Amino acid sequence: MNASNTTASAAERAQDAVNNERLQSAIAALAAFGGRDDGGVSRETLTPIDLAARRHLIDYARSLGCEVGIDDCANLFFRRAGTSDRTPVLTGSHADTQPVGGKLDGAYGVLAGLEVIAALNDAGIRTVRPIEVVAWTNEEGSRFGPGTMGSSAFVTPSLLDGYRQSVDKDGIVMGDALDAALKEVPDVPRRAMALPMEAYVELHIEQGPVLERANAALGVVTGIQSVRWYRVVCTGMAAHAGTTPMDERSDAMAAAMAIATQLYARADQEAAHNIRLTLGRWHVGPNSINTIPGEVEFTIDVRCVDAAVLDRFERFLQDVTSQHAWRGNITFENLFYRAPTAFPQPMLDLIEKACTRASDLAQRGAPKKVTSGAFHDAMYMADHCPTGMIFVPSKDGISHNAAEETAPADLYLGVQALAYTMVELANR
Amino acid sequence: MNASNTTASAAERAQDAVNNERLQSAIAALAAFGGRDDGGVSRETLTPIDLAARRHLIDYARSLGCEVGIDDCANLFFRRAGTSDRTPVLTGSHADTQPVGGKLDGAYGVLAGLEVIAALNDAGIRTVRPIEVVAWTNEEGSRFGPGTMGSSAFVTPSLLDGYRQSVDKDGIVMGDALDAALKEVPDVPRRAMALPMEAYVELHIEQGPVLERANAALGVVTGIQSVRWYRVVCTGMAAHAGTTPMDERSDAMAAAMAIATQLYARADQEAAHNIRLTLGRWHVGPNSINTIPGEVEFTIDVRCVDAAVLDRFERFLQDVTSQHAWRGNITFENLFYRAPTAFPQPMLDLIEKACTRASDLAQRGAPKKVTSGAFHDAMYMADHCPTGMIFVPSKDGISHNAAEETAPADLYLGVQALAYTMVELANR
């Protein structure tokens, strides 16, 4: 018997055994936890409804024969044994949502992993390595900042102490919420953080319009954009709108506007490099109709796969704020920096093969190579083990919204591609 | 006896009888009501501290021999009888402050009127017409909107019903606060609104830097700028900062910024007409660092003494919002409109004469003709009777601030000019 043929065949059989009806039912069942009349889902991390959803996932995974474990950050792991005790292959995503989110962002990746296990059961396939499915805690970061807590703490457990200090808007401390969540599942054994993994593959909705526009059902994610966040503070002098002549003003909004206009123009010049610039959060003081703004603060979110483009942007920001120093006191500071993530070529090759077979069988166009503009748990896992991601389209590119949607046929193809990839990895 | 000579002489004698020490004491005494450690005053309209200040003013006015009356909007009138019952000449301002204001904005004008009466008493001068001093209710509008309530309701009593519906941030209804204030002074007779007045003269701090810059102690206010307020609403589509390519965005902030930049440029072009443009209040939704703004609202406060300049500005605003319609749904609406106020020439001539004599005696530079960029009660009184205003300098142009300040010597000259003006008007 040719081992390589056997492996390939198992991956194909796993791919073909994915059950679309069961997948859609599982998505609908989890969406009921925090489900909203508008079709959206409100299931912020570690809320009572999130704890109920976790119990639902534990029960479902056990019904598929999985062993369940939980770590100190309440990340849930569902394990299907392999024929060996080699390091496992991991898939999954997160089950928490934004305050108002959709039923797919995160949940889809967790349920896809469980559907892969169900398909393997149906097809009677055993893999060499164990397959694990994870539901990361607090990917969204909307209740307790920062986001991607679970995966980053898994990779770097020393982060957890700091995360536990985070406080939500009602004054609840993250550490207390975490302890309560752990207490809710006395039947689930605790397992260590940072356990070695052979590979991590995350299936997720794109949350952008690129795949839909290209009419591609599947996306091979080559990497995650580098992100830099800045805060610009322009301090002028608040004064009466009626009594202060224009040439006597130190108008912080006029300064902010001049700077922002130059930043937008710069982004236009870098359009070929697919830079993305967002000036999303503004604070204007005193924010009164008849008072000249004395202080304007705004944030910059700038992303690109090419770190050199962002280096140039930062130098430009430095120059522009200096140019406008005559208008008042203008400062900027870096709030966050994340280098680009490039997934390894062998992983991209494998995922492309898996996506191509699924697309071909469904008579859909070739998978498209895309970069991720959003953060994902895979960003941190890429520091821990060979990692990859698969995207399915988002209708109109909408996410973090009740209107988030992906065609069921595309969701099905995504899980097919994941099943193939996982079995290939688990038999190596 | 030559009546005209007698009159001139009385005005001069009244001017010379103004007592600077008594004036400064009166300012300090009123500033104690709501006085702050930082030198500012917090005395919002109809608060307990404002009611206490009103009682203080009533007692002080009665000690000067005044008859006190109050109208349905709780405007307080202090009357010094004339030798006839012809229509009186009115001066005054307001005693309420911003949440954090100074000791001069408004209070100075009321106390200046009472000092004129004290000076007339000292000099043994009787005027033909009665002289009245008013403390208008709620000029500031910070607790109950809109501002200049007392003077506008005095001129147009039908406004009062609507004003009584205004609610402060604690849910207190203006009508109830007004009734409570009226009940606090059962010893003060009620008088009618809209009583005929021979003239109204208001003495006020400039609240801008023009007089200080010109080194002039006194300003002859030729009129009040026309004011227009607009709200611009730019509606785009909120979306993920990372996943949405630049050419797929409908970024409401980019639209607002492009419009605002053109408005500032337009104000530059109209600089010769002394237009004043303030984009003071901003609301950005959802106001999140990593979400493309889906809605941006901002206000425009634009002022000029020349209504034609503002008409041109409004047409430009119309054009600019249309030009940017491709970026999303962009609308604007007019929130407030006030035509320019021009004070009558005979009043300007009289005030200039009064100011010139006061400045000359103090060996200060000539009074400067200025326009008011701020609203004042005089704006509404100008619709009711011949009206004028006198300004004194504001240190660094600062007002609506604890740091508000005017040199005592300038405050003294202002009351001297007012005394002259009032006696001239009251003997006509």
CATH assignment of the domain containing A309: 3.30.70.360
B1 pLDDT band, cuts 50/70/90, is: very low
The domain containing residue A417 runs over which residues?
3-224+341-426
Give CA–CA dist A180/A175, Å, rounded. Answer: 9
Give the count of beta carbons closer than 10 Å to the beta carbon of residue A88. Answer: 22
The residue from A338, A372, A401 where one domain ends is: A338
> To the nearest whole angstrom, how far is the Cα of A188 from the nearest Cα of chain B?
36
How distant, in Å, are the alpha carbons of A239, A246, B104, B249, B299 from that of A288? 11, 17, 22, 29, 9
Which residues of A define the annotated binding site?
A: 94, 105, 140, 204, 400
Residue A379 and residue A417 in one domain: yes
Is B397 close to A248, i.e. CB distance below 8 A? yes
Residue B27 amino acid letter: I
Query: Which residues of chain B does A289 touch, with a Cβ-Cβ cutoff of 8 Å?
Result: 229, 278, 280-281, 299, 301, 335
Residue B263 and residue B359 in one domain: no
Is B209 close to A248, i.e. CB distance below 8 A? yes
Give CA–CA dist A372/B244, Å, rounded. Answer: 10
Is A301 close to B206, i.e. CB distance below 8 A? no
Residue B327 and residue B358 in one domain: no
Q: Decide: A36 and A402 in contact? Cβ < 8 Å.
A: yes
Res B303: pLDDT: 96
> To the nearest whole angstrom, how far is the Cα of A360 from the nearest Cα of chain B?
27
Res B3: pLDDT: 40
Q: Which of B198, B245, B104, B221 is nearest to B424 (CA)?
A: B198
Query: Which residues of chain A does B396 touch, with a Cβ-Cβ cutoff of 8 Å?
Result: none
| Both tokens assigned to B305 | 């003494």
> What is the per-residue pLDDT across B106-144, written as a single tens digit (0 to 9) for each?
999 999 999 999 999 999 999 999 999 999 999 999 899
- For B386, the 3-state DSSP assignment is coil
Q: Which residues, 6 or more positions from A269, have their beta carbon under 8 angstroms from its beta carbon?
A: none
Residue A368 and residue A311 in one domain: no
Residue A312 and residue A379 in one domain: no
Residue of A207, A278, A299 for testing the chain B interface, max B β-carbons within 10 Å: A278
Give CA–CA dist B85/B128, Å, rounded. Answer: 8
Res A29: pLDDT: 98
Residue B356 and residue B275 in one domain: no
B4 pLDDT band, cuts 50/70/90, is: very low
| Full DSSP string of B151-194 | HHHHHSGGGHHHHTT-B-TTS-BHHHHHHHHHHT-TTS-B--SS
Residue A31 and residue A75 in one domain: yes
Q: Which of B71, B233, B256 is nearest to B152 (CA)?
A: B71
Res A400: pLDDT: 84
B9 pLDDT band, cuts 50/70/90, is: confident
Residue of A226, A259, A290 for testing the chain B interface, max B β-carbons within 10 Å: A290
> What is the per-residue pLDDT across B319-330, written as a single tens digit (0 to 9) for each?
999 999 888 899
Determine if residue B424 is labeled as part of a ligand binding site: no
Query: Which residues of chain B does A295 touch, with a Cβ-Cβ cutoff of 8 Å?
Result: none
Residue A77 and residue A124 in one domain: yes
Which of B206, B264, B289 is opposite residue A229, by nearest beta carbon? B289
Is A257 close to B254, i.e. CB distance below 8 A? no
Give CA–CA dist A385/A89, Å, rounded. Answer: 10
| Both tokens assigned to A387 | 């990692």
Q: Which of B114, B74, B71, B70 is nearest to B92 (CA)?
A: B114
Is B261 close to A264, i.e. CB distance below 8 A? no
Question: Which residues are bridge partners to A123 per DSSP?
Answer: none
Question: Taking CA atoms, what residue in A is nearest to B239?
Answer: A398
- State percent of chain B over pLDDT 90: 91
Question: 3-state SS of chain B: helix, strand, coil percent to 5?
Answer: 40, 20, 35
Residue B165 and residue B212 in one domain: yes
Q: Between A and B, how many residue pairs show a Cβ–Cβ distance under 8 A?
A: 188
Which of A243, A276, A293 is opposite residue B374, by nearest beta carbon? A243
Q: Decide: A378 and A224 in contact? Cβ < 8 Å.
A: yes
Count of the separate structural domains present in chain B: 2
> What is the per-residue pLDDT across A184-241, written as a single tens digit (0 to 9) for each?
999 999 999 999 999 999 999 999 999 999 999 999 999 999 999 999 999 999 888 9
Query: Which residues of chain A does B287 touch, with a Cβ-Cβ cutoff of 8 Å?
Result: 280-282
Residue B291 amino acid letter: T
Question: Angle B307-323/B252-269 helices, nearest 10 degrees?
Answer: 150
Q: What is the CA radius of gyration of chain B?
A: 24
What is the ipTM for the molecules in this complex?
0.81
Cβ-in-10-Å burial (0-12, 13-18, 19+) of B217 comes to: buried
Query: Which residues of chain B does A373 touch, with a Cβ-Cβ cutoff of 8 Å?
Result: 240-244
Q: Which residues, 6 or more positions from A223, have their beta carbon under 8 angstroms from its beta carbon?
A: A305, A340, A341, A342, A343, A371, A372
Which residues of A define the annotated binding site for Zn(2+)?
A: 94, 105, 140, 204, 400
Query: Which residues of chain A does B368 touch, with a Cβ-Cβ cutoff of 8 Å?
Result: none
Phi–psi pair at A77, nearest 5 degrees? -120, 130
The segments of chain A whose pLDDT lies below 50 read 1-7
Is B240 close to A288, i.e. CB distance below 8 A? no
Query: Which residues of chain A does B276 touch, with a Cβ-Cβ cutoff of 8 Å?
Result: 241-242, 244-246
Determine if residue B16 is labeled as part of a ligand binding site: no
Determine if residue B247 is labeled as part of a ligand binding site: no
Which of B274, B275, B399 is opposite residue A240, by nearest beta carbon? B399
Res B5: pLDDT: 45
Q: Decide: A351 and A220 in contact? Cβ < 8 Å.
A: yes
- State percent of chain B over pLDDT 70: 98
Is A243 close to B373, i.e. CB distance below 8 A? yes
Residue B317 amino acid letter: L
The residue from B318, B338, B358 where one domain ends is: B338
Residue B2 has pLDDT above 80, yes or no: no
Res A8: pLDDT: 56
The residue from A338, A366, A397 where one domain ends is: A338
Average pLDDT of every residue of chain B: 95
| Both tokens assigned to B307 | 């209504």
Is A251 close to B278, i.e. CB distance below 8 A? yes
Is A278 close to B206, i.e. CB distance below 8 A? no
Domain containing residue A414: CATH number:
3.40.630.10
Query: Which residues of chain B does A334 touch, with a Cβ-Cβ cutoff of 8 Å?
Result: none
Is A260 close to B257, i.e. CB distance below 8 A? yes
Residue A87 and residue A36 in one domain: yes
Residue A23 and residue A92 in one domain: yes
Residue B266 has pLDDT above 50, yes or no: yes
Give CA–CA dist B381/B152, Å, rounded. Answer: 8
Residue B129 and residue B268 in one domain: no
Is A279 close to B293, i.e. CB distance below 8 A? yes
